[in-house]
Amino acid sequence: MSSLKRRTFLQATGAAVALSGVRSASARTAANEEIGMGLIGAGGRGGQVSGGFKKLPGVKFVAVADPDESRAKKLAGSLGAEKVYTDLRKLLDDPAVDAVIITTCNHWHCLAAVWAMQAGKDVYVEKPLSHTQWEGRQVVNAARKYDRICQLGTQQRSDPMQTEIKQFLHEEKALGEIEYVQANRFGVRGPIGKREKPLEIPKEVDYDLWLGPAQEEPLYRSNLHYDWHWDWNTGSGEMGNWGVHVLDDVRNVVFQDEVTLPTRIVATGGRVGWDDAGDTPNVHYAYFDTGKIPTIIALSNLWSNPDTKKGSWSSRAGRKVSGPGTGYVVTCEGGSYVGGRGSGTAYDADGKEMRKFKGGDMDRIHFQNFLDAVRSRKKEELHAEIEVGHHSTGWCNLANVGFRAGGEVPGKGAANLDVGTDVWPKVLEEMAAQLKPFGVRPTDDVIHTSPMLTHDPETERFTGEHAEAANAFLKRKYRDGFVVPEIG
């Protein structure tokens, strides 16, 4: 039995020896200030995040793990890490590793985080936290059970600008009462290819470890790396890729984290215009009933000009002020706030500019915030503590469930649903305009539209009519040896 498996068994049974090991590791980190870091996932994002951490004082990279050995060796060299592993479990066995950064594919985030915390490591995990809502809750439970510091990589939480915006909207009430919020992600992408024969896995990749919790299925896309985002087996689509950043901003700035998860959801969208191997939607719209402020997200990866395959969409939805391509609009009785990464602008009711906001070095602050909490052992100091990250990721997970359940329980089109706000039909008119150049209507079979789904934020499950179809997507089937454990 490996030492990791032994630790996992002991901790699961509450053995004192394992718990004392966790405490002694924490004491060592606090005493020595230098934190031994391990990186799990050596792709592009792994290089970006680890490079940011490497610039901070008191950080030493000990090891890098990735099932693609060539990528692991290359990144380890640039970080000065002497140890390279294809199997992340060997990295977690390393006593010199105090904390880990997880920048794997989405489907690995939760299992890697739980295993790391069971091994006594603190965790910085990239967004989205989870591939399904159930497994995200197990990460939160693990952080509590093993008393670990765990931060989500929603770095916008650390931008000082966010505090200024909250004061402007809530304390000063400079724009009056908030009426509704629209989040946007209009970012052009292209198809990922469609092969006749399954993709041959590169010889330097340990594919069993690359798959981990995911099912082994033939891949018909052109590339193994990155394009896993657009496959439900391993990714969460654009909603989980960029949507989580924007919706986390909404939860932070607009709701000040008082709303954990929505109570009702309707979603519509499809994968249109691309005859490729992806199965996540490239057009995806969702309405969230929060019990307070109606919230909508509009997402499109389509070109505005199909002939040239160029140009991105925008959204005005009846407002005087157009929304950003990636960001959100807070519409108030006295004007609007238009926010994006690193900047924002407030407008009065006539669309005249009132005030500009400028962001700071959010990445550096976010990374340092994690290191400070590792040393202090105070999880309340984290800007994106893992339960906050679980809730923000949850909005994306539930939007994805709405889309997928829409394929199981066909609706009559989202425009026929009265959600209680007149903005939703206006946003759907814009969606129809995006689809039209591709010869698709919102009522066509390629577009999945969920019925109104009722969700209980306390149990994190759907209730009422259509609950069975929706709840089926809250937990996935895991491969033997890579099962996310239920943490009580």
Taking only Cα atoms into account, the Rg of the chain, rounded to an integer number of angstroms, comes to: 22
For every residue of 62-125, DSSP letters joined together read EEEE-SBHHHHHHHHHHHT--EEESSHHHHHT-TT--EEEE-S-GGGHHHHHHHHHHTT-EEEE
Q: Read off the pLDDT of each residue in 388-413 and give the average, rounded to a whole number.
A: 91
Burial tier of 268 (Cβ tally within 10 Å: 0-12, 13-18, 19+):
buried
In single-letter form, the type of residue at position 427 comes to V
- Domain 160-359+386-471: top CATH class: alpha beta
Percent of the chain with pLDDT over 70: 92
Distance, in Å, from the CA atom of 293 to the CA atom of 251, rounded to the nearest integer, reads: 11
Q: Which residue has the higher pLDDT, 19 or 483?
A: 483
Distance, in Å, from the CA atom of 112 to the CA atom of 39, rounded to the nearest integer, reads: 11
Q: Read off the pLDDT of each residue in 189-216 and give the average, rounded to a whole number.
A: 97
Q: Is 21 helix (H, G, I), strand (E, B) or coil?
A: helix
* From 221-235, 348-362, 399-413, the region with the lowest mean pLDDT: 399-413
List the one residue out of 243, 442, 434 whose CA is nearest residue 328. Answer: 243
pLDDT beyond 80 at 13: no
pLDDT score, position 83: 98
Q: Read off the pLDDT of each residue in 238-253 and give the average, rounded to a whole number.
A: 98
pLDDT score, position 201: 97
pLDDT beyond 60 at 470: yes
List the one residue out of 320, 342, 371, 333 whose CA is nearest residue 245. Answer: 342
| Long-range CB contacts for residues 473-477, cutoff 8 Å, separation at least 24 | 473/132, 473/400, 473/401, 473/404, 473/405, 474/132, 474/133, 474/134, 474/397, 474/401, 475/132, 475/133, 475/134, 475/135, 476/131, 476/132, 476/135, 476/213, 477/215
Q: Indicate the pLDDT class of residue 59, thresholds 50, 70 and 90.
A: very high
List the one residue out of 475, 384, 383 whose CA is nearest residue 138. Answer: 475
pLDDT score, position 408: 86
CB 106 within 8 A of CB 229: yes
pLDDT beyond 90 at 220: yes
Q: Cα angle at 264 between 262 and 270, to 5 degrees?
A: 100
CB 315 within 8 A of CB 298: yes
pTM value is: 0.93
CB 190 within 8 A of CB 417: no
CB 54 within 8 A of CB 64: no
pLDDT beyond 80 at 277: yes
pLDDT score, position 409: 79
Q: Read off the pLDDT of each residue in 354-372 and give the average, rounded to a whole number.
A: 98
Tokens of 345: 């602008």
Q: Indicate the pLDDT class of residue 418, thresholds 50, 70 and 90.
A: confident
pLDDT score, position 414: 74
pLDDT beyond 50 at 7: no
pLDDT score, position 30: 53
pLDDT score, position 330: 98
Q: Indicate the pLDDT class of residue 135, thresholds 50, 70 and 90.
A: very high
Q: Read off the pLDDT of each residue in 344-351 and give the average, rounded to a whole number.
A: 98
Q: Which CATH superfamily is domain 3-157 in?
A: NAD(P)-binding Rossmann-like Domain (3.40.50.720)
CA 289 to chain centre: 20
Residues 6+ apart with CB under 8 A from 333: 175, 176, 177, 179, 349
pLDDT score, position 15: 34
Q: Read off the pLDDT of each residue in 359-380 and give the average, rounded to a whole number.
A: 98
Cis peptide before 128 (omega within 30 of 0): yes
Q: Read off the pLDDT of each residue in 232-256 and give the average, rounded to a whole number.
A: 98
Q: Read off the pLDDT of each residue in 140-158 and give the average, rounded to a whole number.
A: 98
List the one residue out of 462, 249, 208 whose CA is nearest residue 342. Answer: 249
Domain with CATH 3.30.360.10 in the chain: 160-359+386-471
Q: pLDDT per residue over 314-344, tens digit each?
A: 999 999 999 999 999 999 999 999 999 999 9
Q: Read off the pLDDT of each residue in 97-102 and give the average, rounded to a whole number.
A: 98
Domain with CATH 3.40.50.720 in the chain: 3-157
Q: Read off the pLDDT of each residue in 148-163 and give the average, rounded to a whole number.
A: 98
Q: Indicate the pLDDT class of residue 4, thresholds 50, 70 and 90.
A: very low
pLDDT score, position 20: 37
Q: Read off the pLDDT of each residue in 22-31 and give the average, rounded to a whole number.
A: 49
Q: Kindly report the average pLDDT of the chain as a whole number.
A: 93
pLDDT score, position 455: 98
pLDDT beyond 90 at 194: yes
